[in-house]
A and B are shown apart, each in its own frame.
Chain A
Amino acid sequence: QVQLVQSGAEVKKPGSSVKVSCKASGGTFSSYAISWVRQAPGQGLEWMGGIIPIFGTANYAQKFQGRVTITADESTSTAYMELSSLRSEDTAVYYCARQSGAGISAGSFDYWGQGTLVTVSS
């Protein structure tokens, strides 16, 4: 059974960066795209970007271009999402999700991490 386990909650200052990890187990890591989705308090879901670990190529939502970096380490089956220049509006729960296909545009988000709360506050 595939499991995605994310790193713990973070509190960050405005202007700083945060890096969230997502460790996969129980399945083939490299062959499936991993996406990152965030959810601000009381709000809906927002796709940030995704990566295909076997290729190391990432695709980002236009809104986050230049501020987000998504990487993957095949040796540890771990994906990372780093968001920089944090502001209060970035306070949200950040989820990783494994897709059912090998491409970022392919397939459903079948497996989800438990979520990581990132709070941005001075």
Chain B
Amino acid sequence: QPVLTQPPSSSASPGESARLTCTLPSDINVGSYNIYWYQQKPGSPPRYLLYYYSDSDKGQGSGVPSRFSGSKDASANTGILLISGLQSEDEADYYCMIWPSNAWVFGGGTKLTVL
């Protein structure tokens, strides 16, 4: 199974923006896949945030604030979750997910700390 690489940790201050990345292996083109993002807080199941394919093909989870948004950096073969106007409640683990072929694959997750 391909490995989706996420930095283990990230931090930012309240009100700032956090940019979380999900890098695909070189043999999988990020431009060809929906990138799904999930948020998980301790002791709770994951929560679906959004998916991003392109600016014209994206979707937000039910009740997810618009300050959560997705994008891609094709040059880095990376999916991006941008959280603007950080709040303390955004402190959580964040996972990316794709379906490259015949199986769903999750990234290892990024623990976001809101300082």
Residues of A in contact with B (beta carbons under 8 Å apart): 35, 37, 44-47, 50, 59, 61-63, 95, 97, 105, 108-110, 112-115
Contacts and interface: CB of A to CB of B under 8 A. Distances in A.
Nearest to A109: B48
A105 B45 contact: no
B14 interface: no
A114 B40 CA distance: 12
Nearest to B62: A110
A100 to B, nearest CB: 8
Interface stretch (B23-31, B76-84, B105-113): B105-113
Contact of A62 (B1, B40, B45): B1
Contacts of A37: 46, 106
A61 B104 CA distance: 8
- Overall SS of chain A's interface: strand
Nearest to B104: A47
A47 B59 contact: no
B51 A108 contact: yes
A47 B102 contact: no
A61 B51 CA distance: 22
A11 to B, nearest CB: 19
Contact of B106 (A44, A105, A112): A44
B106 A109 contact: no
29 contacts: A37-B46, A37-B106, A44-B95, A44-B106, A44-B109, A45-B95, A45-B97, A45-B109, A47-B103, A47-B104, A47-B106, A50-B104, A61-B103, A61-B104, A62-B103, A63-B1, A95-B46, A97-B46, A105-B104, A108-B48, A108-B61, A109-B36, A109-B48, A109-B97, A110-B61, A110-B62, A112-B46, A112-B47, A113-B45
Contact of B105 (A47, A50, A109): A47
A44 B103 contact: no
Contact of B104 (A35, A44, A95): A35
A113 B46 CA distance: 9
A44 B99 CA distance: 17
Contacts of B104: 35, 47, 50, 61, 105
B1 A115 contact: no
B84 to A, nearest CB: 21
